Structure 1
Amino acid sequence: MGAQQRVYKQRIKSAQGMKKIFKAQEMIAAARISKAHARVRATTPYAEAITAAIGSVATHSDEIDHPFLQADRSLSGRVGILLITSDRGMAGAYSPNAIRGAEQLANLLRDQGKTPVMYVVGRKGDSYYRFRNREPHRSWTPYKEAELPEMGREIAKVVTEDLLAEDLEQHIDELYVVGTRFESRFQQYTKSVRLVPMGVVDADPDEVRPSYPLYAFTPDADTVMEELIPRYVEARIINILLQSMASEHASRQRAMKTATDNAETQINKFTRLANSARQAEITQEITEIVGGADALSGSGRSER
C-alpha cells in the first residue's frame, strides 16, 4: 500500500471514530430532552399560579408596599444579570447566543448609566468573562442536571439578599435573567426577563391583560406578599433553569446530528480519494510492466 493510501485510510478511521462519538452524543441528548421537558411542564403551572396570585393581591389592594414592586429602585445604580449557559460543550450555538444576549443587555444598561453585575451559571459563561478579565460577581459551576432545583433555590437566596442589601456596594436595583426558552425540540430562543422590579402583569404588550380573581387573604396584603414574592423569584429562576437545560439538550442533539452528517461526508470523500490513489498505483504498476516488456522485446532478448 502506498504512502498516500495510508494517509487516506488513517483519516477514514479517524472520521469513523468521531462519527461514533457524535452519534452517541446525539442519542443521549435525544433521550434526555423528554425528561427535561417533563420537568419544565411540572414547574411551569406553579410559576404561573404564583404569578397570578401576586397579580391578584396587587390588583385588589392599594396598601402593598414591597421593595420588589417599587417601579423606581434607583439606589446604587447596579443591575444584576443572571446568565444561564452550558456546563459542557458540543451544544452548538446555545451558549454563544445566551452570552450575546447578556452582552447586548449589559451594553444597553451601560448606555443608561447603570452598572451591570454578572451572576453566571455554567462553565461556558464563566470562562468567557474570566478570559476577558471580567470576573463574574458570582458563578455556579460545575453543576449537574439533577441539582438544578436546589441550585435555583440557592441562586434565588443570593440575589434576594443582594436586592434587599442596605450596603450600596452589594445592593442591586434590578434583576434580569438571560436564558433560553424551550418551545419544542426544534424551536428555542434566547430571552431576557426582568424579575425585579416586578410588573403586576407578565404578558406581551399586544396581549389582553388577564383579569385576576378576588382572593380573601389573611392577615393582610403585606404579609401575604412577603411570603409570595420570594417564592415567586425562586420559582421563576428554577423554571428558567429547567427550560434552559431542555434547550441545551435540543441544541446538542441538532449539533451532533450535523457533526455526524459531516463525519459521514468526510468518510465518503476520503474513501473516494483512497480508491483513486489505489487505482493510480495499479495503473502505474501496469504501465511499468508494459514498458519493461516493450524494452525487452526491443533489445532482441527473450525469456527462456
Structure 2
Amino acid sequence: MPGGKERELRRRISSVQSTKKITRAMELIAATRVVKAMQRADAARPYSRQITSVIENLAAGGAETNHPLLRQADEVKKVGFIVMAGDRGLAGAYNTNPIRAAERQLQGHRAEGKDYALFCVGKKAAAYFTFRNYRVNYDYQGFTDNPSYEDARRIADDVAAAFISGEIDEVELIYTEFISMGTQRVSVRRFLPLEDTAVMAESGGGDAEAAASFEFEPSPDSVLEALLPRYIEARLFGALLDCAASEHANRQRAMKSATDNAEELITKLSRQMNAARQAAITTEIMEIVGGAEALDESGDGAQAIDLEGMFAQIGATPESAAASDSTNEG
C-alpha cells in the first residue's frame, strides 16, 4: 500500500510539473505581448488627440452641422451596447468584468421599458449572452488580442449605420481601460450620439481664439461632417487597443499565479512522497527486525541475520531508520 501511494504521488508531481511548464510559457508569452500592445496603444494616441483637437477647433469656431451622428432622439426606445471582451480565457477576470457590467446596464434599461441591441466584440461576450438567451445582433471575433484599424472601422460602420437608420437611439461602450500593468478598470461610456461637450472634454476644452487661427476648406461645416465618422473609428480603435493590452496584462498575472500555485503544490506533494518513502522503509525494517527476533526466540539454531547488510541493500542504516521512525511519530 505505501509503495502504491508513492507511485501515485510521483504521477501527480509529474502532472503538476508539466502544467507548470505550460503556465510559465504562457506567462512569458503574455509578458512579451503586453509590451507590444502598450506600444501600439501609445502610438495610436497622437492620432486620436489630433482628430479630437481639430473637431474641438471646428466647434469652437462656430461650425454647425446636422450630421446624423449628432442626432438626439426625442425619446430613447432602443439602446445599443458595444461589449468588448476577449476570444480566449485564462485571463483572470478580464472577460467577466465588462460582460457583467454590460449585463447590469442592459437590465437597467430593460427595466425602464427600453429595447436593446448587442454588438459583441470577442467570442467570450457572444457566448455569454447567447447562452443566457440574449439577442446578439452583431458578433466580431478573431482579433481581440491584436486588433487592426480595419477591425475598428468595421464595427464603427455597423454601429453608425444602425444609429443613422434609427434602429437604435443611443449607444453605450463597455470596455476595459488600460491604466498600467497593474491596474485596468471597466469603463462604461456613452458612445452615440456625439456631443460637443464630450468631444471638448476629451481634448481639454475649446479655445475660440486658437480656433480663429485655422482656416478650413472647403468649409468648417463640411470638414466637421467628414471628420465625425473618423472620430468614432479612432475612439473604437483606442478602446480595442486598451482591451488588448488589458487582456495580456491579466493573462500574465493569471499565469504567474498559476505557476506559483503549481510550485507550492509540487513542494507539498514532494513532502508527502518523502514521508511515504520513509514510512515504507520503516515498515520494511521493522518486519526484518521482527523476523530476526522471532528466529532468535525459536532457538532452532538459525544463523544470525546480517541486519547491517540488509539495511545497505534497501539504502538505509539503523541510525537513519530510527531517525525516520521518530520523525514520523512526531
For the criterion TM > 0.5, the same-fold answer is yes
Cα 1:204–1:99 change in 2 (3 A) is farther
Structure-2 residue corresponding to 1:22: 23
Q: CA deviation at 1:217?
A: 2.0
Structure-2 residue corresponding to 1:300: 299
Q: Equivalent residues in 2 for 1:46-61 (5 A)?
A: 46-61=47-62
* SS across alignment from 2:275: helix
Looking at both structures, which has the greater relative contact order when contacts are Cα pairs under 8 Å and sequence separation is at least 6?
1
Q: Equivalent residues in 2 for 1:118-267 (5 A)?
A: 118-143=118-143, 145-166=145-166, 171-202=167-198, 209-211=205-207, 213-214=210-211, 215-267=214-266
* SS across alignment from 2:196: coil
Q: CA deviation at 1:125?
A: 0.8
Structure-2 residue corresponding to 1:79: 79
User: Hey, what's the Cα distance between the residues in 1 that align with 2:114 and 2:291?
Assistant: 85
Q: What one-letter code is carried by the residue in structure 2 that aligns with 1:4?
A: K
Q: CA deviation at 1:204?
A: 11
Q: CA deviation at 1:172?
A: 0.9
Cα 1:109–1:146 change in 2 (3 A) is same
Contact 1:81 1:118 survives alignment (8 Å): yes
Greater C-alpha radius of gyration: 2
User: Hey, what's the Cα distance between the residues in 2 that align with 1:163 and 1:114?
Assistant: 15
User: Hey, what's the Cα distance between the residues in 1 that align with 2:95 and 2:73?
Assistant: 31
Q: CA deviation at 1:130?
A: 1.5
User: Hey, what's the Cα distance between the residues in 1 that align with 2:149 and 2:204?
Assistant: 32
Q: CA deviation at 1:109?
A: 2.1
Deviations 1:74-99 (A, max 9, x none): 46611111111111111111000111
Question: Which is worse superposed, 144-153 or 125-134?
Answer: 144-153
* SS across alignment from 1:184: coil
Instruction: Report how many residues are paired.
Output: 298
Identity score, percent: 40
TM-score of the superposed pair, with normalisation by structure 1: 0.91
Q: CA deviation at 1:243?
A: 0.8
Q: CA deviation at 1:59?
A: 3.0
Structure-2 residue corresponding to 1:102: 102
* SS across alignment from 1:202: helix
Deviations 1:141-160 (A, max 9, x none): 22364453221111111111
RMSD of aligned residue pairs (Cα, Å): 2.1
Q: What one-letter code is carried by the residue in structure 2 that aligns with 1:150?
A: E
* SS across alignment from 1:218: coil
Cα 1:121–1:211 change in 2 (3 A) is same
Q: CA deviation at 1:299?
A: 1.6
Cα 1:203–1:235 change in 2 (3 A) is closer
User: Hey, what's the Cα distance between the residues in 2 that align with 1:130 and 1:225?
Assistant: 38
Contact 2:56 2:199 survives alignment (8 Å): no
* SS across alignment from 1:181: strand
Q: What one-letter code is carried by the residue in structure 2 that aligns with 1:272?
A: R
Contact 1:65 1:222 survives alignment (8 Å): no
Q: CA deviation at 1:203?
A: 8.0
User: Hey, what's the Cα distance between the residues in 2 that align with 1:218 and 1:256?
Assistant: 53
Cα 1:202–1:303 change in 2 (3 A) is farther
- Unmatched 5+ residue regions in structure 2? 304-330
